[in-house]
């Protein structure tokens, strides 16, 4: 696979499920990839990237961002409250809001830095204890807090359990977004992004299908 293959697959899925191609944003997941591989994808005009760790994202993007000012960086991994300041400074979208404590830390930092980033709430649709995200039951309360403190939540994000049929989780996330009037749905990875598009994904997070396998180190 390659960026070109993934882009073509997205276009095909959009056509098949009667969605405009502009409805789906490809978030190229650059975690654990070399700088050369990232630059190669930048040269192919990809501009939206996802990283799951603040420190690694900093190393990857601190310099490249000045060179490519139109880059949009999404945080797609768990964020610790004590790294909220760094995350707000570096990223453009935070996809992994999953607690009231984190929501408050982010809202405070955004005010301090005057950088008001759109956020998604991560929902643990499979109720997996090792995974981040709020449970479906906790979602309305967290949304209410976010709205109360002025955190701009525009969407939901999920990572289905590896052994489950992903469509069930994508359908659930879509239902929740509709119920709460949220516009964005970040769902689908290398193994299942066409399925996610069929369920209304607006953002697909694709790593290995673009870059190849990640460096095991």
Positions touching ligand PLP (CB under 6 A) are 29, 31, 52, 76-77, 159, 189-191, 205-209
Both tokens of 178, joined, read 């509709």
Quick one: 83 or 205, whose CB is closer to ligand PLP? 205
Rounded distance, CA 50 to CA 114, Å?
A: 22
The residue to which tokens 């790593």 are assigned: 207
SS3 180: coil
Quick one: 90 or 147, whose CB is closer to ligand PLP? 90
Smallest distance, ligand PLP to C-beta of residue 77, A? 6
Rounded distance, CA 202 to CA 187, Å?
A: 8
Rounded distance, CA 75 to CA 96, Å?
A: 7
Smallest distance, ligand PLP to C-beta of residue 36, A? 18
The residue to which tokens 């607006």 are assigned: 202
Smallest distance, ligand PLP to C-beta of residue 132, A? 9
Task: Name the residue number minimizing CB distance to ligand PLP.
Answer: 207
Quick one: 114 or 130, whose CB is closer to ligand PLP? 130
Quick one: 145 or 211, whose CB is closer to ligand PLP? 211
Rounded distance, CA 206 to CA 67, Å?
A: 23
Smallest distance, ligand PLP to C-beta of residue 120, A? 11
């Amino acid at each position: 696979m390659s960026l070109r293959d993934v882009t073509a697959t997205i276009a095909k899925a959009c056509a098949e499920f009667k969605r405009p191609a502009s409805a789906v944003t490809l978030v190229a997941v650059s975690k654990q990839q070399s700088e050369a591989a990232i630059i190669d994808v930048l040269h192919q005009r990809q501009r939206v990237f996802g990283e799951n760790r603040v420190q690694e994202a900093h190393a990857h993007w601190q310099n490249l961002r000045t060179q490519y000012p139109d880059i949009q960086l999404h945080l797609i991994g768990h964020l610790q409250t004590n790294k909220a300041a760094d995350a707000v400074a570096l990223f453009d979208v935070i996809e992994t809001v999953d607690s009231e404590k984190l929501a408050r830390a982010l809202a405070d930092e955004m005010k301090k830095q005057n950088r008001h980033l759109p956020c998604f709430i991560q929902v643990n649709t499979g109720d997996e204890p090792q995974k981040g995200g709020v449970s479906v039951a906790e979602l309305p309360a967290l949304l209410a807090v976010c709205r109360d403190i002025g955190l701009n939540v525009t969407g939901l994000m999920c990572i289905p359990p590896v052994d489950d049929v992903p469509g069930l989780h994508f359908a659930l996330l879509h239902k929740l977004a509709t119920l709460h009037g949220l516009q964005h749905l970040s769902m689908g990875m290398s193994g299942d992004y066409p399925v996610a598009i069929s369920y209304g994904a607006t953002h697909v997070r694709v790593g290995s299908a673009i870059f190849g396998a990640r460096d095991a180190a």
